[in-house]
A and B are shown apart, each in its own frame.
Chain A
Amino acid sequence: MGKKIAIIVFVVFIALQFFQPSLPEVIVDNPNDLLTNNPEIPGDVTAILRNSCYDCHSNTTNYPWYSYLSPVSLLVVHDIEEGREELNFSNWESFNKIEKAGAIDDIIGVIEAREMPIQIYTVIHQDASLSDSERELLIGWADEYSDSLFD
């Protein structure tokens, strides 16, 4: 009985591999990227953004091996598409000041409310989960950056 189920699961898993969604495109050259255009952003903040945010919120996604396996790939595609649509740091400099301030407010809000990074992502990418001090650091930078827009 157990063997039969295992075989069925295996067959379904193999069959699923024939249905691969296309993963959102990785674009390396992003002239409007936040980090490339703002070298004054401190290194520790840059590291947090790249490590905990950029996989879903930029065009420079690092796809792990399992993102090529169905049905995980479906979830990955969905999260990245949604993430880029909501906020894409690769397009940062195409936003005007007001849009930037709105995005910063959003960033601070989701970090404070611990909505981001999403849990399913940090379960797999444990190094992407943010400690309290990292959250503080990111919020502090975001707040100062936003102020600097209106100096």
Chain B
Amino acid sequence: MKKLTLVTFIVVSVVSMSFIDGNKTASISSTDGNSYEVPADVQAIIDNSCYGCHNTDSKSTKGKMKLNFDKMSDLKTSKLVGKLSKISKVVKNEKMPKKSFVEKYPDKALSKEQSDKLTSWADDLAAQYGGE
């Protein structure tokens, strides 16, 4: 019985979380006047696999120091391009999400398709603002 309650709880949380994700408006604008929308499918990947550590309230001091999605809008062009470039690199090299994290939460792992989607988004945007 306890098990059933737990399962129900998990199902309800996951379902409600996916609703929240679906409604999120996602736009990033930099102080240099660069602004853009994050496609919903990319935002979903970020929310599921990255945002947990890379946000203002994160318990991971280093995680939020190096990349904070809540503060992307404060970034000037050079920083924005730098962050996007770095996102692409660490995801391609499979350094992120961290192995220890993925072992603990296997559903946070990036599939090949998710990884490609995320990195091509980052690459395209970086190219758009980086002028290459």
Contacts and interface: CB of A to CB of B under 8 A. Distances in A.
Interface of A: 96-99, 101-102, 104-106, 109, 112-113, 115, 143, 146-147, 149-150
A150 B79 CA distance: 10
A102 B76 contact: no
B65 A105 contact: no
A88 to B, nearest CB: 14
Interface in B78-121: 78-79, 81-86, 88-89
B79 A98 contact: no
Contacts, number: 57
- Do most interface residues of chain B lie in helix, strand or loop, or is the interface mixed? helix
A98 B65 contact: no
Which 7 A/B pairs are nearest by Cβ-Cβ distance? A102-B85, A105-B82, A101-B82, A146-B78, A101-B81, A109-B66, A98-B130
A99 B85 contact: yes
A150 B78 contact: yes
A102 B132 CA distance: 14
Nearest to A112: B65
